[in-house]
Amino acid sequence: MSIVVSDQQEQTTRESNVFSDDAFRKRIATVDEQGKRKWVYPQNPKGAYHRARAVVAGFLVILFFSGPWITINGHPLLLMNLMERRFAILGVPFWPQDAIYLAIAFICMVVFLLLFTVVWGRLWCGWACPQTIFLEMVFRKIEYLFEGGPAKQRRLKTKKWNREKLLRKGGKWTAFFIVSFAVANTFLAYFVGTEGFLDRVSLDPRHHTADFIGVIGFTAFFYFIFAWFREQACTLLCPYARLQGVLLDNDSVAVTYDFTRGEERMAARKSKNYADAGDCIDCFSCVKVCPTGIDIRDGIQLECVNCTACMDACDSVMDKYNRPRGLIRYASHNMVKDGSKFRFTPRVIGYMIIFAALLIVFSALLLTRSDVDTTILRTPGQLYQEADEGATIQNLFNLKALNKTYDAMPLYLELIEPQGGEIQIVGTDLHINAEGILEQAFFVKLPRDILDPLKTKILIEVSNGDKVLETVKTTFLGPASP
Ligand code: SF4
Ligand code: SF4
C-alpha cells in the first residue's frame, strides 16, 4: 500500500519536525539545567558575510576612536559635554534649550528602529551594534590570537598554570585591558571635548581625581562586559533584544534556516531511511560558529544577534556538497514557508507613515531653528514711565540672548509693531560672543496716542544685520486711559 502525501502536508510535517521540540525555548542556550553559565567557545567565522561585516566593523571602530578628533569647520563632530551642558552633533552646537530637537530626534530614531526591526529583524545587532562589533570583531579576535580556536581554548582552560598558559592568558588580559582603557578614554573625550581631554591627560591624576576614577571605572566595566559577561549582555540586559518578541512577526526578515529545503536532515535520513532527504547534513557547523551558542535550525530565538556566522558556515558546507547556498539566509518565516517574496505589511506601512511624518516635523524644526535664542521680558517691579511731558510712554525691558553658534555677532532690535515707537538700548550697542549669553536692558518708547488701555501688544524683531533671528511678541504697559 502506498501513501500519497500532498506537498502542503509534507511541508507542515517538515515545519513541525523543526519546531515541535521547543526545549530550547525553556532556557537560554548559555545556561544549563542547574542554572549555571555555559561558556561558549565559538569557531572563528569565515566567509563572505564575515568579510563584509569586518569591513563595516573596521570602519565603525575607526570612526568611534577618531570621532572626538574629527572636526567640521573646526567644530567637533560629536560632543556630549554634560557637565558644561555643551553639545555638538555633526559640527552643529546644541544647547539644553534645544531639548525639543533632541527629543524629536530621539523619537525619530526609536520609530526608525521599530520600523527597521519589523522589516529587518536584528540587522542592527549583527552589523552596527557596538557590543557585537567590539565583542566579535575586537575582543574575540584577540582571544583567537592568544589562545587559538575553541579546542585550544578549552584545553588551555583545563591546563595547569605553566609558562605557556601564563603568557597566553596574561597577553590576552593585557590586550583586553588596553582596548577597554582606550574605549573608556574615548568616551571621556566625547564627554569633555578634545581640549578638556588633553588637559586631563597632561595633568597628574590627583588634579582630576573624579575623571580618573571615572575612566578606571569605565575601563573595569568594559573589561567585565567583553571579557566575561559577553553574549549575556545581549540576551539578558539589552532592552532592544527584549523587544524582539513584540516587534518581530512572520514577515520580518532575519537570519533564518530554510526548513523546507533542509529537512529531513541527512543524518535523520540515514537512521530512518527517508527517501527524500533535505539539504541539511546535520554537521552542526552552524552551531559551532554561533557566538550565542544556539542552533538556528530551531527557529528565530531571543539570543540570535543576526551575526551571519551560521550563514557563512552553512554556505561553505553547501559548497562542499554542491548544493545551492542560502540554506541559512536572510529571509522571513513566511518567505521560507511559502517561497514568497518580501512584502510590505500594513504594520510596516503604518510605521513608514509615522516615520515620514516625524521626519517632516523634525526637518521643519531644524530648518526654522534660530541661531540665537531670545527672551524679552518687562523688567519686574517696573510700571510705565512718562516722558516728553506725558506725550511718550516708556517701558523698561530685559533682553536675554543665547548665541547657539560658534560665531560672535552684533544684535539689532527693531520695533515692528506698533509703528511710531522706538527702541533705546541702555548702554552700548549689542554684541554677543560665540556660544555666549548676553543680558541687556532697553527701553521701548511709544507715543501715548497709539496705546491701548493698560496693555499694548508689541512685536520686536531681533536680527544680526544680515538676517532676522527671531521675532518676539510681548506687551507694553501704559496708563488705564491713554
Ligand atoms: S551548517 Fe547547514 S548543513 Fe550543517 S547543520 Fe547547519 S544548517 Fe545543516
Ligand atoms: S544563530 Fe547565526 S546569526 Fe544568530 S547569533 Fe548564532 S551564528 Fe549569529
> From atom 1 of ligand 1, which residue's Cα is the shortest distance away?
314
User: Average pLDDT of 247-261?
Assistant: 93
pLDDT of residue 74: 80
DSSP letters along 223-259, please? HIIIIIITHHIIIII-HHHHHHHHH--TT--EEEE-H
pLDDT of residue 37: 92
* pLDDT score at 49: 98
Is the pLDDT at 9 greater than 70? The verdict is no
Q: Which atom of ligand 2 sits closest to the CA of residue 42?
A: 7
Q: What is the pLDDT of residue 132?
A: 97
- Ligand 1 pocket member 286 (CB < 6 A): yes
Q: What local confidence, expressed as pLDDT, does residue 47 receive?
A: 97
Mean pLDDT rounded to a whole number for the chain: 88
Instruction: Catalogue the E-assigned strands of 222-361.
Output: 254-257, 328-331
Residues 462 and 438 sit within 8 Å (Cβ to Cβ)? no
Model pLDDT, residue 231:
95
Range scoring the smallest mean pLDDT among 97-106, 166-175, 207-216: 97-106
Q: Please count the other Cβ atoms lying within 10 Å of the Cβ belonging to residue 105.
A: 17
pLDDT value for 21? 55
Q: What is the pLDDT of residue 1?
A: 34
Integer Cα distance of 293 and 310 in angstroms: 11
d(CA 231, CA 72): 36
Ligand nearest to the CA of 278: 1
Render pLDDT for 171-224 as a digit per residue (tens, 0 to 9): 999 999 999 999 999 999 999 989 889 988 888 888 889 889 999 999 999 999
pLDDT tens-digit series, residues 387-440: 888 889 999 999 999 998 888 999 999 999 888 899 999 887 899 999 889 999
Give the model confidence (pLDDT) of 359-388 as tens digits: 999 999 888 888 898 999 988 887 889 988
C-alpha 285 to ligand 2 mean position (Å)? 11
Confidence of residue 87 (pLDDT cuts 50, 70, 90): confident
Question: What separation in Å is there between the alpha carbon of 306 and the centre of ligand 2?
Answer: 5
Assess whether pLDDT exceeds 80 at residue 26: no
Separation of CA 20 and ligand 1 centre (Å): 19
How far apart, in whole angstroms, are the C-alpha atoms of residue 120 and residue 335?
13
Probe target for ligand 2 pocket from 234, 303, 310, 312, with the most ligand atoms within 8 Å of CB: 310
Q: Has residue 84 got a pLDDT over 70?
A: yes
- The grid coordinates listed for 413 are 532690535
Distance in Å, CA 262 to ligand 1 centroid:
8
Interval between CA 42 and ligand 1 midpoint (Å): 15
- Using most ligand atoms within 8 A of CB, pick from 255, 261, 284 the residue to mutate for ligand 1: 284
CA 243 to chain centre: 15
- 284 in ligand 1 pocket by Cβ < 6 Å? yes
pLDDT value at residue 273: 57
Instruction: Give residue 141 CA to ligand 1 midpoint distance, Å.
Output: 24
Ligand 1 atom having least distance to the Cα of 297? 7
Query: How is residue 69 written as a grid cell?
Result: 578628533
Atom of ligand 2 nearest to the CA of 296: 1
pLDDT of residue 266: 77
Question: What separation, in Å, do the N-terminal and C-terminal C-alpha atoms of the chain show?
Answer: 110
- The residue nearest atom 7 of ligand 2, judged by CA position, is 290
Q: Are 128 and 61 in contact (CB under 8 A)?
A: no
pLDDT in tens, 273-289: 556 688 999 999 999 99
Helix (H, G, I), strand (E, B) or coil at 203: coil
Which amino acid residue places its CA nearest to atom 7 of ligand 1? 280
Query: Residue 80: phi, psi to the nearest 5?
Result: -125, 60
Q: Give the model's pLDDT for residue 204.
A: 86
For residue 443, give every residue at least 6 positions away whose Cβ sits within 8 Å of its Cβ, in sequence order, or none: 394, 395, 396, 397, 423, 424, 426
Q: Is the CB of 297 under 6 A from ligand 1?
A: yes
User: What is the structure's pLDDT at 22?
Assistant: 63
Instruction: Give which of 175, 88, 73, 85 is closest to 134, Cα–Cα.
Output: 175
Question: Which range, of 118-122, 243-247, 291-295, averages the lowest pLDDT?
Answer: 243-247
Ligand 2 center to residue 368 CA distance, Å? 45
Cβ-proximal residues to 131 (8 Å cutoff; 6+ apart), any chain: 225, 233, 234, 238
Report the separation in Å between the CA atom of 55 and the middle of ligand 2, taken as the mean of its atom positions: 19
Residue 16: is its pLDDT beyond 90?
no
Are the CB atoms for 108 and 355 separated by under 8 Å? yes
Report which bound ligand comes closest to the CA of 320. Answer: 1
Nearest-angstrom CA–CA distance, 223 and 173:
9
This prediction's pTM: 0.81
Which DSSP string do the residues of 34-96 spell out, in sequence order? TSPBPPP------SHHHHHHHHHHHHHHHHHHHGGG-EETTEESEEEETTTTEEEETTEEE-G
pLDDT at 162 over 60: yes
Measured by CA distance, the residue closest to atom 2 of ligand 1 is 314
* Best CA proximity match to 64, nearest among 121, 111, 130: 130
Neighbours of 74 (CB within 10 A): 7
- Residue 344: per-residue pLDDT: 87
